């Protein structure tokens, strides 16, 4: 699931409109719409406020569910490429 969809689903679960969220965060309704459609992303302060508004932990809202194996493979590949360039 992407960030925009997470934001949309969280807002709907709370029964809030984009206008409601915009007013509580001090942004425009269009800004909230852009976040929910992944056109732009909220900064960390706005994200923290939304997590509180939606009664969620920030990491639940952002959904940092990283695959450790995939991360390790990326690190290994990058290390190998760097080593080849050095030698």
> Tens digit of pLDDT for each residue in 7-64?
999 999 999 999 999 999 999 999 999 999 999 999 999 999 999 999 999 988 887 6
Q: What is the CATH number of the domain that holds 32?
A: 1.10.260.40
The pLDDT score that the predictor gives to residue 59 is 85
Nearest CA among 50, 51, 62, 52 for reference residue 26: 50
CA distances from residue 25 to 9, 33, 46, 49, 78 in whole angstroms, order as listed: 17, 13, 7, 7, 40
Domain of residue 17, residue span? 1-83
Find out whether 7 and 61 touch, Cβ atoms under 8 Å. Answer: yes
Number of domains in the chain: 1
pLDDT of residue 75: 82
pLDDT at 5 over 60: yes
Helices (H), the chain: 3-13, 18-25, 29-36, 44-53, 58-62, 68-86
């Amino acid at each position: 699931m992407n960030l925009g969809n997470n934001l949309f689903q969280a807002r709907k679960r709370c029964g809030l409109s984009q206008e409601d969220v915009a007013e509580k965060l001090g942004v425009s309704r269009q800004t909230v719409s852009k976040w929910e459609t992944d056109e732009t992303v909220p900064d960390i302060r706005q994200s923290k406020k939304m997590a509180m508004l939606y009664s969620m932990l920030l990491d639940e809202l952002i959904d940092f569910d990283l695959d450790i194996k995939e991360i390790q493979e990326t690190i290994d590949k990058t290390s190998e490429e760097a080593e080849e360039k050095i030698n």
